[in-house]
Chains A and B, each alone.
Chain A
Amino acid sequence: MANARTRLRRGEGLAGWLFTAPVIVILGLFLLVPVLMAAWVSLSDWTGRGSPFAAGVNFIGVDNYREILGGGGLAERDFGISLKNNFWYVILVVPLQTIVALGLALLVNKRVLRGRGFFRTAFYFPSVTSSVAITVLWLFLFSGSGAVNAVLSWVGINGPDWFNDPAGIFHFGATSGPSALTSGTVLGVSWWDWLGGPSVAMTAFVILAVFTTGGTFMLLFLAALQNLSGEVQEAAEMDGANAAQRFFRVTLPQLRPTLFTVITLGLIGCWQVFDQIYTGTQGQPGKTTLTPAYLSYTSAFDSNEWGRGAAIAFILFAIIIVFTLVQRWVLAERKVSRRRMRWIEDARDASARIGGTR
Chain B
Amino acid sequence: MKMSRWALVTVALGATVGLTACGSGFSSGAKQDDSKALTVLIGSSGDAETKAVKDAVATWSKDSGIKATVKAASDLKQELAQGFSSGKPADVFYLSTDALAGYASNGSLLAYGDDLKNKDDFYPVLQKSFTYDGKFYCAPKDFSTLQLIVNTDLWSQAGLTDADIPTTWDQLDAVAQKLTTGDRKGLVMSGEYARVGAFMAEAGGNLVNDENTEATADSEANLQALQYVQKNLQAGDFAFAKDVGAGWGGEAFGKQLGAMTIEGNWITGAMQNDFPDVKYKVVPLPEGPKGKGTLQFANCWGIAADSGNTKGAQSLVEALTAKDQQLAFSKAFGVMPSIQSAAEEWKSQNAPLVPFIEAADYAKTPPTVKGGADVVTDFNSQLASLKTGDPKTLLTSTQKNLEALFK
Q: Out of A28, A144, A287, name the residue touching B17 (CB < 8 Å).
A: A28
Q: Is the CB of B103 within 8 A of A304?
A: yes
> Which of A50, A73, A161 counts the most B-chain CB atoms under 10 A from its CB?
A50
In contact, B18 and A304 (Cβ under 8 angstroms): no
A60-101 interface code vs B (CB 8 A; 1 in, 0 out): 000000000000011001100000000000000000000000
A136 to B18, CA, bound (A): 38
- Alpha-carbon distance A356/B382, docked complex (angstroms): 74
CB proximity to A under 8 Å, residues B228-276 = 242, 245
By a CB distance below 8 angstroms, the chain A residues around B306 are: 50
Q: Taking the complex as formed, is B334 at the interface, i.e. its CB lies under 8 A from any CB of chain A?
A: no
CB <8 Å contact, A49 and B10: no
Tier of interface size on chain A: 35 or more
> Is B81 located at the chain interface by the 8 A CB criterion?
yes
Residues of B within 8 A of A284 (CB): 381
From A54, A77, A304, B370 is in contact (CB under 8 Å) with A304
User: Is residue A350 within 8 Å, beta carbon to beta carbon, of the partner chain?
Assistant: no
Is residue B352 within 8 Å, beta carbon to beta carbon, of the partner chain?
A: no
Measured between beta carbons, the chain A residues less than 8 angstroms from B10 are: 32
Interface of B is mostly: helix
- 1-59 of chain B: CB within 8 A of chain A: 10-11, 13-15, 17-19, 21-23, 26, 28
- Point out the residues of chain A lying under 8 angstroms from B105, CB to CB: 47
Tell me the bound Cα distance from A301 to B371 in angstroms.
Answer: 12
A33-B21, A74-B404 known; A304+B102 contact, CB < 8 A:
yes
B78 at the interface (CB under 8 A from A): yes
**Cβ proximity bits B367-393 to A, threshold 8 Å, 1 near / 0 not:** 000110111011001101100100000
**When chains A and B are docked, how far (Å) is the Cα of A239 from the Cα of B103?**
74
Distance, CA A54 to CA B81, complexed state (A): 17
Q: Which residues of B contact A48 (CB under 8 A)?
A: 81, 84-85, 102, 106, 108
Q: Are B374 and A78 in contact (CB under 8 A)?
A: yes
Q: Is the CB of B22 within 8 A of A53?
A: yes
Instruction: List B185-205 residues whose CB lies under 8 Å from chain A.
Output: none
Q: Which residues of A contact B18 (CB under 8 A)?
A: 33, 36-37, 53
A216 at the B interface (CB under 8 A): no
Instruction: Give Cα distance in the complex from A148 to B84, angstroms.
Output: 44
With both beta carbons as reference points, the residue of chain B lying nearest to A176 in the complex is identified as B388
Interface code B95-110, partner A: CB below 8 Å = 1, 0 otherwise? 0000000110111100
Contacts of B28 in A (CB 8 A): 50
Chain B min CB distance to A310 (Å): 12
B284 an interface residue at 8 Å Cβ cutoff? no
Contact indicator per residue, chain A 21-43, by CB within 8 Å of chain B (1) or not (0): 00000001100110011001000
A28-B385 Cα distance, complex, nearest whole Å:
49
Bound Cα distance A164, B381 (Å): 11
**Interface assignment of B286: CB less than 8 Å from any CB of chain A:** no
Q: Does A51 reach chain B (CB closer than 8 Å)?
A: yes
Asked whether A304 lies within 8 Å of B242 as measured between CB atoms, the reply is no
Q: Does B401 contact A (CB under 8 A)?
A: yes
Query: Are A74 and B375 closer than 8 Å at their CB atoms?
Result: yes
| B102 nearest CB neighbor, chain A only | A304
Known: A73-B404, A304-B81, A304-B106. A286 touches B382 (CB 8 A): yes
Contacts of A302 on B, CB cut-off 8 Å?
A: 77, 373
A142 to nearest B CB, angstroms?
A: 13
- In Å, the complex CA distance between A114 and B107 comes to 67
A238–B11 alpha-carbon span in the complex (Å):
60
Which of chain B's residues have a CB closer than 8 A to the CB of A77?
378
- Which chain A residues lie closer than 8 Å to B166 at the CB level? none
Q: Is the CB of A161 within 8 A of B242?
A: yes
> In the complex, which residue of chain B has the Cβ closest to the Cβ of A73?
B404
Q: How far is the CA of A33 from the CA of B14 in the complex (A)?
A: 5
Quick check: is B308 within 8 A (CB to CB) of the other chain?
A: no
Given contacts A49-B108, A74-B378, A166-B384, contact A33 B17 (CB under 8 A): yes
Residue of A nearest to B390 (CB): A176
Which of chain B's residues have a CB closer than 8 A to the CB of A144?
245
A54 near B26: Cβ-Cβ < 8 Å: yes
Given A32-B10, A161-B242: A78 in contact with B378 (beta carbons within 8 A) = yes
Query: Distance in Å from the Cβ of B133 to the closest Cβ of chain A?
Result: 15
Is A303 positioned at the interface, with any CB of B under 8 Å from its CB?
yes
Question: Which residues of A from 246 to 301 have beta carbons under 8 Å from B?
Answer: 283-287, 300-301
A145 contacts chain B at the CB level, 8 A cutoff:
yes
CB distance from B366 to the nearest CB of A (A): 15
Any B CB within 8 A of the CB of A227: no
Within 8 A of A (CB), among B337-380: 370-371, 373-375, 377-378
Task: Spell out A's residues near B (CB within 8 Å).
Answer: 28-29, 32-33, 36-37, 40, 47-54, 73-74, 77-78, 144-145, 161, 164, 166, 175, 283-287, 300-306
- Report 8 cross-chain contacts, Cβ distance below 8 Å, ordered by A residue: A36-B18, A48-B108, A73-B400, A74-B375, A77-B378, A78-B378, A166-B384, A286-B384
Given contacts A47-B102, A175-B385, A175-B388, 17 further A-B contacts (CB under 8 A): A37-B18, A49-B103, A49-B108, A51-B19, A73-B401, A74-B375, A74-B404, A78-B378, A161-B245, A164-B242, A284-B381, A285-B242, A300-B81, A301-B77, A302-B77, A304-B106, A304-B370
**Closest CB pairs A-B (n = 6):** A47-B106, A304-B102, A144-B245, A36-B14, A50-B26, A286-B381
